[in-house]
């Protein structure tokens, strides 16, 4: 069964405009998760990860595929749940307050088209609960890509 957050995300994904829908999705996650300092999207564009709708301080606009937690998420097409970002070689500190991070790929037709990225100001912030919730969100966003022809 989907959590309330996942149900709310699905409701926002009925909007056909990508920026409008995902702006509300980022706001919804920000309001639901306590103790986070950044949440947003990166999209695969121009052979890079490019900043999408987000909540938090201004962030890096472009991340090469070979850099950072986001780059690893893209290359491995796998969730990166980092308990202590200071122990992750090459972590990109957009906000120096960030201590832990959860990055989840959005996979459409086997290709990573973007990511959900969340930062927290304390170590070990993210558990299997958030990981599973964001995996469900990424799946629902992938369905919206197909339904609304975002690719
Ligand atoms: N920390 C990320 C960069 C994106 S920001 O956290 C918003 C990384 O290492 O790729």
**Index of the ligand 1 atom closest to the CA of residue 91:** 9
Work out the pLDDT band at 1, boundaries 50, 70, 90: confident
Helix then strand count (H, E) for the chain reads 4, 6
Looking at residue 2, its pLDDT comes to 93
% the chain with pLDDT above 70: 100
Cα→Cα distances 69→6, 40, 48, 72, 130, Å = 24, 14, 14, 5, 17
Mutating to test ligand 1, I would choose from 39, 60, 82 the residue with most ligand atoms within 8 A of its C-beta, which is 60
pLDDT digits (tens, 9 = 90+) for 104-144: 999 999 999 999 999 999 999 999 999 999 999 999 999 99
Structural domain total, the chain: 1
Going from the Cα of 127 to the center of ligand 1, the distance in angstroms, rounded, reads 18
Range of the domain at 50: 4-148
How high does pLDDT run on average in the chain?
A: 97
Using the mean position of ligand 1's atoms as its centre, give its distance from the Cα of residue 121 in Å. Answer: 13
We report the CATH number of the domain holding residue 126 as 3.30.450.40
| pLDDT reading at 11 higher than 90 | yes
- Whether pLDDT at 37 is above 90: yes
Q: Give the residue from 40, 7, 55 showing the smallest Cα distance to 114.
A: 40
43 Cβ neighbours under 8 A, 6+ residues apart: 49, 50, 52, 113, 114
């Amino acid at each position: 069964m989907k959590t309330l957050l996942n149900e709310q995300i699905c409701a926002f994904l009925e909007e056909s405009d990508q920026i409008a829908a995902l702006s509300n999705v980022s706001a919804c996650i920000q309001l639901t998760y306590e103790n986070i300092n950044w949440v947003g999207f990166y999209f695969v564009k121009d052979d890079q990860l490019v900043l999408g709708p987000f909540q938090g301080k201004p962030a890096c606009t472009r991340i090469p595929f070979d850099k950072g937690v986001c780059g690893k998420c893209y290359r491995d097409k796998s969730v990166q749940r980092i308990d202590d970002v200071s122990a992750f070689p090459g972590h990109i500190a957009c906000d120096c307050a960030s201590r832990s991070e959860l990055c989840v790929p959005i996979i459409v037709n086997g290709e990573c088209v973007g990511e959900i990225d969340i930062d927290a100001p304390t170590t070990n912030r993210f558990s299997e609960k958030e990981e599973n919730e964001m995996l469900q969100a990424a799946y629902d966003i992938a369905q919206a890509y197909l339904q609304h022809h975002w690719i």
